[in-house]
């Protein structure tokens, strides 16, 4: 299971390369008003607070991306960085009309390619929003993580009910929302931290 494997990496001394790939929420585009996104907050926790200064945290998120975009650009966005861990955030844009079964058909080969390249995989559910398909996608990503043995960061469950103060618009987290996402990510991946859990 990748969650166990990621904890083993964190317990070791060898530097780890983390690649974050996916959509505008991964990218932390626009709606943070210049504040750090959750991938940057994760980097601070791992590289500074935990003293893993030689770890590399790379964010290749692209606004508007769906799973098919990640699949088409996997070499450029992820594999060229030789990740030890790939943290994927897609589903919000897919939920606008891509059937869940088509999403599965794209994601399973992505996970297989990452594994063959030596990467552990962490999947993230979308945060709640007005897009009708998001609840079904949250459940699909949970099922995909279970089926594939990937680590799961269940933002959707954490954000039910969601606090309006966490949004920059009805879909995208703001700076406070990214802080909550970072805490959920840190907890789900087993990163030791003195930060309070994401409970407020």
Report pLDDT for 192.
Answer: 85
At 185, is the secondary structure helix, strand, or coil?
A: helix
In a domain, 66, yes or no: yes
Residues near 180 by beta carbon (within 8 Å), at least 6 away in sequence? 158, 159, 166, 173, 198
Containing H/E element for 81? none
Containing H/E element for 151? strand 151-153
Q: Looking at the 3D structure of the chain, how many domains does it have? A: 1
pLDDT tens-digit profile of 157-178?
999 999 999 999 999 999 999 9
Query: In Å, how far are 65, 82, 93, 146 from 17, measured between CA atoms?
Result: 22, 7, 27, 24
In a domain, 196, yes or no: no
pLDDT tens-digit profile of 27-61?
999 999 999 999 999 999 999 999 999 999 999 99
Task: List the domain range (segments joined by +) for residue 27.
Answer: 2-188
pLDDT tens-digit profile of 86-114?
999 999 999 999 999 999 999 999 999 99
């Amino acid at each position: 299971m990748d969650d166990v494997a990621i904890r083993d990496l964190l317990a070791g001394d060898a530097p780890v390369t983390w690649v974050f790939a996916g959509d505008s929420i991964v990218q932390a585009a626009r709606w943070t008003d210049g504040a750090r996104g959750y991938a940057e907050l994760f980097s601070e926790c791992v590289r500074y607070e935990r003293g893993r200064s030689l770890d590399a945290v790379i964010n290749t998120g692209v606004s508007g991306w769906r799973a098919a975009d990640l699949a088409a650009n996997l070499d450029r966005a992820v594999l060229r960085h030789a990740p030890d861990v790939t943290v994927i955030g897609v589903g919000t844009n897919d939920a606008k009309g891509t059937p869940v079964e088509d999403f599965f058909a794209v994601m399973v080969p992505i996970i297989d390619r990452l594994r063959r390249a030596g990467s552990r995989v962490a999947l993230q559910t979308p945060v709640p929003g007005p897009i009708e398909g998001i609840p079904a996608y949250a459940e699909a990503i949970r099922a995909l993580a279970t089926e594939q043995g990937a680590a799961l960061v269940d933002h959707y469950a954490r954000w039910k009910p969601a606090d309006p103060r966490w949004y920059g618009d009805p879909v995208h987290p703001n700076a406070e929302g990214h802080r909550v996402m970072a805490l959920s990510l840190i907890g789900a991946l087993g990163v030791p931290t003195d930060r309070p859990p994401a409970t407020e």
